[in-house]
């Protein structure tokens, strides 16, 4: 073999060797890439499994406050977050909800238009890196340790009702430019779930609310009626009941019409609620009959409430004429633990005694009650 043939063969061999090494390196890189993709897929699978579990708990929440608790707890524990916080607009549908059980650390109320003024209504998800030179106005001193945040705008972008903030000490966690598909999905789930929870709560409240007076109705009482008082108000609690009825209500309707009667009932409910404590259930049992339950109220105080109630209710007027009401007061000592319906019945009987004595007064049920 000539020298030129040898050189050519050596070149071919060297080229083949380099090609083999190149293919081996490409194969190694491909395996590494496939391994990284599979790990990302597995991580996404774990992520969405945790999200599915959280969504299930959210959907099972009984009211907006419970839903917020589930989200706050679930997001912190399942997604290793250093800050989870709601910012809700007071002027939105959720602004009138009772959220007293959620701490100020976890829920901040915003004034009308504040989300729009911050420019957050332009998209559903914002990713931010934080530094000494660049912060976010809604964060507070207690948030100084955060290095990045994600802001999830809740509701229709034209009318957002809140923002869910997620914070991390890892500056790369919510780096701008990262994929936000998961967070976009979370924003939609949280927004829709809160809207549905408020709607369900509103419908449930309407079902147990008397449309004329705004007090509770018989449906509100039904689940409790045959239960012992302790099931409703707890063990060791004395409970009093006032049963109130308008005197000669039928003749009032006949003389002035049902519209005047409805007006009297509306005024009566407002007046009774004004005398009662905020936690005392007021129930319209039908027609002009109301029951006011006074849990944890000593008999002496209940009598004072009854006396005041008679005075203010007897001052209600229709067509320049004052009405009068009769009331019965009954007490159930904690040791008796009588049924709810029996306590109300005792108060009802005492009310009829008050009517028999001329009306416009209250009577106390017998000591045996």
Domain positions in the chain are 61-207, 218-364
CA dist 175 → 37, 165, 186, 243 (Å) = 20, 14, 17, 64
For residue 65, pLDDT over 90 is answered with no
CA gap 103, 267 in Å, rounded: 36
Residue with tokens 């909800």: 97
CA gap 127, 136 in Å, rounded: 11
The CATH architecture one would assign to domain 61-207 is 2-Layer Sandwich (3.30)
Mean pLDDT on 28-51: 64
For residue 34, pLDDT over 70 is answered with no
Mean pLDDT on 46-67: 68
- Choose among 186, 193, 134: nearest CA to 165: 186
Where is average pLDDT lowest: 70-74, 122-126, 321-325, 331-335?
70-74
Residue with tokens 């524990």: 77
Phi, psi of 285 (to 5 degrees): -85, -10
- Entry pTM: 0.62
Decide the pairing of beta strands 321-322 and 239-246.
unpaired
The CATH architecture one would assign to domain 218-364 is 2-Layer Sandwich (3.30)
**Partners of 166 in the beta sheet?**
84, 150
By the 10 Å C-beta count (0-12 exposed, 13-18 middle, 19+ buried), 185 is classed as: middle
Per-residue confidence (pLDDT) for residue 213, from 0 to 100: 92
For residue 64, pLDDT over 90 is answered with no
Q: What is the pLDDT of residues 242-294, one digit of tens each?
A: 999 999 999 998 899 999 999 999 999 999 999 998 889 999 998 999 999 99
Per-residue confidence (pLDDT) for residue 369, from 0 to 100: 39
pLDDT tier at 3 (50, 70, 90 boundaries)?
A: low
Q: What is the pLDDT of residues 83-128, one digit of tens each?
A: 999 999 999 988 877 777 788 889 999 999 999 999 999 999 999 9
Per-residue confidence (pLDDT) for residue 368, from 0 to 100: 42
CA gap 6, 1 in Å, rounded: 7
CA gap 44, 185 in Å, rounded: 13
End-to-end CA distance of the chain, in Å? 125
Q: Identical fold at 61-207 and 218-364? A: no
3-state SS class at 84: strand
For residue 312, pLDDT over 60 is answered with yes
- Show Cβ contacts of residue 245 under 8 Å, excluding neighbours closer than 6 positions: 288, 289, 290, 325, 326, 327, 351, 355
């Amino acid at each position: 073999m000539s020298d030129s043939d040898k050189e050519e063969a050596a070149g071919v061999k060297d080229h083949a060797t380099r090609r083999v090494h190149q293919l081996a390196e490409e194969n190694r890189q491909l395996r590494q890439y496939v391994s990284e993709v599979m790990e990302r897929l597995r991580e996404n699978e774990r992520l969405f499994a945790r999200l599915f579990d959280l969504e299930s708990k959210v959907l099972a929440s009984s009211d907006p406050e419970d839903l917020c608790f589930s989200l706050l707890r679930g997001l912190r524990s399942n997604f290793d977050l250093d800050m989870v916080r709601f910012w809700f607009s007071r002027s939105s549908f959720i602004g009138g909800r009772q959220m007293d059980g959620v701490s100020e650390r976890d829920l901040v109320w915003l004034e009308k238009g504040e989300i729009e003024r911050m420019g957050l209504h332009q998209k559903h998800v914002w990713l931010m890196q934080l530094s000494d030179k660049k912060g976010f106005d809604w964060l507070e001193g207690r948030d100084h340790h955060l290095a990045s945040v994600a802001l999830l705008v809740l509701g229709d972008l034209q009318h957002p009702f809140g923002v869910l903030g997620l914070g991390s000490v890892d500056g790369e966690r919510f780096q701008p430019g990262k994929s936000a598909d998961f967070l976009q999905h979370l924003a939609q789930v949280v927004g829709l779930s809160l809207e549905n929870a408020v709607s369900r709560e509103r419908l449930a409240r309407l079902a147990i609310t008397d449309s004329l007076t705004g007090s509770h109705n018989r449906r509100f009482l039904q689940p409790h009626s045959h239960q012992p008082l302790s099931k409703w108000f707890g063990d060791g609690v004395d409970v009093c009941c006032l049963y109130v009825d308008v005197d000669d209500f039928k003749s009032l309707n006949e003389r002035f019409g049902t519209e005047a009667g409805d007006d009297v009932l509306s005024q009566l409910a407002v007046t009774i609620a004004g005398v009662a404590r905020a936690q005392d259930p007021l129930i319209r049992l039908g027609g002009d009959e109301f029951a006011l339950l006074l849990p944890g109220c000593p008999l002496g105080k209940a009598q004072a409430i009854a006396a005041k109630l008679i005075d203010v209710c007897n001052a209600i007027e229709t067509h320049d004429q004052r009405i009068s009401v009769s009331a019965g007061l009954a007490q159930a000592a904690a040791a008796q633990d009588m049924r709810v319906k029996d306590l109300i019945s005792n108060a009802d009987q005492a009310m009829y005694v008050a009517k028999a004595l001329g009306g416009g007064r209250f009577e106390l049920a017998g000591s045996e009650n």
